[in-house]
Amino acid sequence: MDDVRFAVLGTGGIGRRTLDVARHRDGVTPVAACDRNGVAVDHGGLDVDELLEATEGNIASGPEGDVAADGGAKAASGVKQTGERAGVAASAQGEPTETPIDDVIAESDGIDAVLMALPNLEHDFIPRVAERFAEADYEGVLIDVLKRSRVIGMLEEREETLEDSGITFICGAGATPGFLTGAAALAAQSFVEVEAVEIWWGVGLKSGYEDNRGTVREDIAHLDGYDVERAREMSEAEIEALIDEHDGRLEFRDMEHADDVLLERAGICDAEDVTVGGVLDVRQDEKPTTTTVRVTGTTFDGERGTNTFRLDDDTSMEANVNGPALGYMKAGVLRNRAGDYGVYGPAEVMPGF
């Protein structure tokens, strides 16, 4: 397989880590990256070291260094635009822009895949980004690390548009949904009927809230008494106060996580039989709890059992989100080159390496 040349939309926590991990993986070459204020394109391959240095602490770009779905530099509600760093625009490879998505689309000929490292703080945000690529007749792979169940339906509504354009969209391709969704699908193979899938994750953020603003803000939407709209409108001070109130440790139960609809889509079980929860500690390196997938079901000979999959506590969030994202990207490119277009979930595709 030839090198996969890919672009990254958003150079906050997830986007920067993808660029970093790509340096250690064969067969993938980042050729474009953008945040809300700048874009860098080099079809021969970006200087990742220099770009990471320029985007470190990408504060001025808002959560996860996101960009507006209309292609412009629309500020996120409640996000302080400090101007402390200029992000991609400060890179020697970058230049300032008010239309980052349009600029990447304009350079997309020869780009095999686009990773959307964007917080989905509006339900249809990423689906609208995908639509922009389809409207521009992009032919290739789009990949995201979506978290919310209802967004999958919005992508499915656009599946015909994506197919007509020649786009292969791999949705929910991080850790959960993603890696752990695929693990659940494999664990289910022992059974003829799946009774329950329980996903329980633990994340310790070594770099804390400062470098993971978008991820933490999006997770807060899953807390009791919170939703997407409330999380989007919270100021930085309000978020930091919430974190202080919980001593840096946020626990989530019965999250609206896309694992449920993605496992149902793959025919593994009903969405209502899937539960997702976990613990996020923004002040400790160590995972606050072991990440575990438990699949309970009945075998063909009537035995009831539970298959369990555990991640080692020493594997980081970076390794478990961005590693699989690049693996699913490779798998998506193989499907795209074979003419398989449309929307796929992580339980339908085996990631490459």
**Active site members:** 147, 218, 222
H or E segment at 201?
Answer: strand 193-204
For residue 163, the tally of other CB atoms under 10 A from its CB is 16
Q: Which tokens is 162 given?
A: 């994506």
Q: Tokens for 37, please give them.
A: 């204020």
Closest CA to 64 of 204, 209, 251, 231: 209
Q: Under 8 Å CB-to-CB from 232, ≥6 apart: which residues?
A: 76, 77, 78, 121, 122, 217, 221
Amino acid in the structure at residue 131: E
Reference 343, options 99, 190, 164; nearest CA is 164
Contact 10, 64 (CB under 8 A): yes
Name the token pair of 332.
């998506």
Residues 6+ apart with CB under 8 A from 299: 190, 191, 192, 305
Q: Are strands 140-144 and 113-116 parallel, antiparallel or unpaired?
A: parallel
- Residue 4 has φ and ψ, to the nearest 5°, of -85, 115
| For helices 13-22 and 213-220, angle between their N-to-C axes, nearest 10 degrees | 130
Residue 269: phi, psi to the nearest 5? Answer: -165, 175
3-state secondary structure of 27: coil
Cα–Cα distance for residue pair 43/35, rounded to 1 Å: 18
